[in-house]
Structure 1
Amino acid sequence: MSVRAYRGPLLHFTAAPTSAGEGVEYFADGVLVVDDGRVRQVGPAAAVLAALPADCEVRHHPDHLIMPGFIDTHVHFPQIDVIASYGEQLLDWLNHYTFPAEQRFAEAQYAAAAAERFLDELLRNGTTTALTFCTVHPASVEAFFSASTRRGTRMLAGKVLMDRNAPDGLTDTAAGGIADSERLIEKWHNNGRQSYALTPRFAPTSTPAQLQKTGALLARHSDVYMQTHLSENSAEVQWVETLFPERTSYLDVYDHYGLLSERSVFAHGIHLRDRELRRLAETGASIAFCPTSNLFLGSGLLDLQRLQDFGVTFSLATDVGAGTSFSQLQTLNEAYKVAQLKGYPLHPYEAFYRLTLGNARSLHLDHCIGNFEAGKEADFVVLDPNATPLLAYRSRQCESPWEKLFLLMTLGDDRVVAETYVNGARVYERRQYR
């Protein structure tokens, strides 16, 4: 791939930002130089352009904003089929919508078509990396990673493990599920830009035998990820207490079976006790905050300040299909409102940090994605602050970068994403920006 440069307003994060702008690098007229799919240089246009070869192609986006690609830390690729389904809370949602939809993924052709649709939707919304649930069927994992490999995207995913409390067409066995997972790890983990995540759906759908075997497999593959759900819904928490009366808490179920580590991502975590938060902090496990899903299912409001006080790492996620949008901008919109209700001031710098470098750090991928540090993989988006008449009107009134970011996270959606790049190659272009 030849060297290319991308010019325009440019923003990324070098560290966790402050509201004063520390950790934020912004160029009103900047240039990102990409060489063979990786970042070569970023800086002010005057300095960078002067050092480029005369024949270097420069793509100019003067009225846009260039940022690193967005990262989603919790999403279900099979649930594109049930997004915006009416009227249930978590447990009924699973039984009435999710489980029937996921049974269709037993057909490899169906799973392959769904993976294509899902990844296209991610890229259309500027999301270039996601930690993803597949279904219990190994073919769903094959379909997902194959589609991701063709696009060159960096993705993390895994086969769901469920050996009880689910329909027959969606259950495996303790031994069979682990054997399938081990084969998929050997084939896909660290295969190009793909990473594997062991994926017990949640404690109620796994027997103690399956959880024990999952922990043992995780111990044998210490660089594999682990993703599951935790304390999303009050009825769910009570159910776990009845299924595991010998354990002291919901988190203690996972802890007992060796599922807590720095590579463990627990979606939701709304109803956690103090001792559970202390244990998350001790082990480095993180919470994926899923505001649109939490509101849609009536699960509750995550207290971000409480996580901060206990030193628990958290990230931002869409949780499609209970989450109501693939757009991370819409996710930030709802995250801001949840934070407001809990008294937490979610500054736009922190919000966009979470979508980029912060989420990369939570997944231990900040060595390769998340900002424009030289040598990192060139996944980035070109955002259009004039995508709608209202955005265009309000953008002209902004005096600072953070004000423009706040407009994007409150008024923006998929229409804002003008272009998406993966490894320096354009994989999505919105033909009509306005």
Structure 2
Amino acid sequence: MANNQAATTYGHGKGIGATVGIALLGMGTVGAEVFRLINENANDFEQRIGGPVAVRGIAVSDTSKERPGVPAELLTTDAHALINRDDVDVVVEVIGGIDYPRELVLAALRAGKSVVTANKALVAAHADELAAAANAAGVDLFFEAAVAAAIPVVGMLRRSLAGDKIQRISGIVNGTTNFILDAMETTGASYEDALAEATRLGYAEADPTADVEGHDAASKAAILASLGFYTRVTFDDVHCEGISKITAEDIEAADRAGYSIKLLAICERLTAADGTESVNARVHPTLVPKDHPLASVNKSYNAIFVEAEAAGSLMFYGNGAGGNPTASAVLGDLVGASRNKVHGGRAPEDNTYAHLPIASFGEVETRYHIDMEVADRTGVLAAISNVFAEFGVSLRTVRQEDRGETARLIVVTHAARESVLADIVEHLSGLDDVHAVNSVIRLDN
């Protein structure tokens, strides 16, 4: 199609057969894979786009570093100069971080270049600013790879479910934490040992804080909530708890009760008694029933469960991290952005028309699984039950394990407001007969 035809004007695009110039910002694991696949699949991309793509340059921090297969003349440390070249149409940002990538992406959009980014932290923190710049310039801003790598959830929310009303999005969106929790469940390993194994295998970074404390998942939750509920949700709006306090004993207790512990990103549309709606997004360890599809997601895989008014329940599953899956999502966006450059037009833009208020975490209804060390004597259970009764919360199950002079007491509550349940835990901690509240883990409703 494109190879043997002269450039043909189509709409406001460059025309069929025109070359789309690409600037690649970053040459780490993902950037290197993107560059390799662009070259290996050049003919296929040309047919899909309507014209060839050509990498005009690659911005890196050190041009002297050995990069097999990458022509030295493509490398530059001047990202701004590369972005502003007349022969660059699409900028691919795979650097990571926030401040410097924000500077570059805004410069690209304002220069009339479409942008493809895999940077979830950037999108979660500055989506409004980036979207406004893209709209002002009439160019595309794509970020499929920012949420779950090759799992096409962004496109699904932007296009496939755009005619539906989404009620809830929940999922496992961080492969490192899922690998750790799965290893703890299947092998009985401690958190520390499972983290060490994840590090050895390359699933965890040398500094795993962003993963294990839930920050990575919170950025993705902000993006999912913004897309699903047509309301801007930022990283700072997301309640965030990680998995570093989960113990092998927690995993064992959950397993005996018929649950798996997963770090879930949960985005919900909340409806008050008077019909008013709000949005909440949160990330925390969650007890998931063994018969729920999310409980069976193992190793470093990701899965996102969407509940929509007309479509019902949908689940998207796959490898949500790594160079190849992330590069696949980046290239899918690159094809879309390049096709629009050739043929004209734009992809659906972010739409936050709903402007729903962000509900505080305390307003969310949850259930608690509370593990306590208590005195083993008559009346202790009654005293604990009275605390729940005072706050109007009923207990679903109670299990006690004798340990000589003390007992392990595990209670599971019925649904109640998060703020109320948090107050209950505080009161339980103040009882003389409660020696310790070992853990508090929420159950998925």
State the TM-score, normalizing by the size of structure 2.
Answer: 0.29
Query: How high is the TM-score relative to the length of structure 1?
Result: 0.30
The structure with more radius of gyration: 2
Structure with bigger RCO (C-alpha 8 Å, 6+ apart): 1
